[in-house]
Structure 1
């Protein structure tokens, strides 16, 4: 893709936050279906708090990814580091929400794998997969360009209904 400007910090923050919301809605709908709490309508959910958490977390991930690549770490190692970072961001952001508003929107305390109700260690495979998928996602987000210099061609009259 040529022309245009790459997304700046705010643009990437918005894009990463939206991607995070989409991931969460898909994940919660499938997990609820698998656990019997949901149904085939696949109703997913997230929280407004999650946009800035995903946005900041994935922006930090971009910086960390560059450091790990320059250090020569393998992709598998980078995915494991990303998994640990995801747990850390989830725990710290949950603890900050508890301190700020008195509770965390997500509550994992019913799981025997929970840590203070803020993270679930049995989600490690999902965070590892997220770390693996993050690299092509970050490449895509960094490649988005806005305000292309070449205007798009106008549709040919008569091809689309008015």
Structure 2
């Protein structure tokens, strides 16, 4: 489980850098600068908790599974953002007054991205389990 926490953390950091780089290009930055905060590593690592959910909902339709992941990711993002801001005193992200932002902690317009990310997580989870079974 610890190894998968690290893998999910690193995969999330990479995903965020690519996402931010893509949006910088869309804004006209041909340098395609993507960035993240190392504070995000443990948050992405928490995807290890989604493994239990994945195993429980594996046989449900794709739309339902993606919706479940979206809600769980929003919940984790909101709670961790609140903890970072109000307890630790840092803000790795702040959506401020952006439309569809909830207390600056989550963006509801990111629902499609989290939907897809959740389904990609399933593929990564299955690959990691498959690799583990081949090694054992």
Q: TM-score w.r.t. structure 1 length?
A: 0.76
Residue 31 of structure 2 is matched in structure 1 by: 41
What is the root-mean-square deviation of aligned Cα atoms in Å?
1.8
Structure 2 gaps, min length 5: none
Contact 1:76 1:132 in 2 (8 A): no
Q: Quote how far apart the aligned CAs of 1:135 are.
A: 1.3
Counterpart contact for 1:104–1:118, Cα < 8 Å: no
In the other structure, the counterpart of 2:57 is 68
Aligned to 1:144, what secondary structure does the other structure show? helix
Number of residue-to-residue matches in the alignment: 135
Higher helix share: 2
| CA shift for structure 1 position 33 | 2.2
Aligned pairs for 1:120-139 (under 5 A) are 120-139=107-126
Instruction: Give 1:51 deviation, angstroms.
Output: 0.8
1:52 aligns with 2:52: no
Q: Which has the larger radius of gyration?
A: 1
Identify which of structures 1 and 2 has the higher relative contact order when contacts are C-alpha pairs closer than 8 Å and 6+ apart.
1
CA drift at 1:84: 0.8
Q: Is the 8 A contact 2:6 2:45 kept in 1?
A: yes
| Aligned counterpart in structure 2 of residue 119 of structure 1, from 95, 106, 109 | 106
SS at match of 2:96: coil
Q: Secondary structure at the match of 1:123?
A: helix
The equivalent of 1:158 in structure 2 is: none
DSSP 3-state at the match of 2:119: helix
TM-score (ref. length: structure 2) = 0.90
Given that residues 40 and 92 in structure 2 are in contact (C-alpha distance below 8 angstroms), is that contact kept between their aligned partners in structure 1?
A: no
